[in-house]
A and B are shown apart, each in its own frame.
Chain A
């Protein structure tokens, strides 16, 4: 670090020269980095270093049994990537990850907008509704997905029971003659279930972020539109939604990261099955790298998340910069 320029914070009054001298005696240039050091060291040691290690692993032959890169002989070039890309399961996992993310996030954008508008209104029981709606986000994911796992049980699913009661399932019915849907046992249904749980999980986050945006729309703009006789829908589509685009982008970028890199939903709900139909990058990296003990291949598989993460980080920095300048 070459003597970073420490200035008084933007909101502080401009200090006269005599006081500046006094602050120098307190040695801000020393105190600042010193206070920052523990956090930065922690992040560099346990995020920065493992990130580099992940890349090194991906080009090596390390396993759980011998997790060390001791000589150049441990580097195997692109061998891991060659194996992975020739593996149909990986290609399916990659495709699933993209499809699950895109489909679930398109649904989340639509539902979050509707739900955000609902919660922006005032009505009785709103606090309770808000608490319930937030549950999927505020509860530990592995435990809540267990709830879905049981909801979608092959025999005792309450969804199946309701469908039987209303005559949709069972002998001589549209979804019959079987008495159960086998949600997690059939390819399309299992994939749809995983997508639905991702929607369920990320909808609250997108909604509350959007809600924060809704409340920050200047009132005079909405009032002006009303004065001009614009209807609710016209105000919504021509005034509010365009103003909400930046904040919605922030919400969806977060949502995409959480869905794209998620391990818990596919693992707890289906363990990647039936066969490998709901396998995603994260579960495949887990099965190969941790369960199978092939750290090198696992790391190489996980690296396929990086391009998406980089793009999202860049987009976020741009959004943050734009809000700073306006």
Chain B
């Protein structure tokens, strides 16, 4: 199921650990990227076989870590931090603003599948708060206006 390119990465990962199970989480990341940002049971079974662990083990792992998703996210996944330092300087308001702008609640995806919002616990950009991660890019000291602009640009 992995493309040849990704399979090379998987093989490299497996070679870096004493036992195959150790590579489970990095390989799950690759699987999630291959499957448009989420993990289906088919993929979990596939990774379980690669790492030689039971499927329940993979499911336990996937449901433990917040970065693994069991349903498809939007094309642009907006991860707004509202944890302690961010909420002091407008993180909560930024999230509310984003929710209003996209007309969805955190944890949901817009009907056109373009945007999804996730409310984040500390993302480690506390001195540059409030911070937002869009897919894999950090945006720091984000104002509601900047958020609007960003969303409008991404939409085009």
Are A and B bound to each other?
no
Which residue numbers of A lie inside 8 Å of B, CB to CB? none
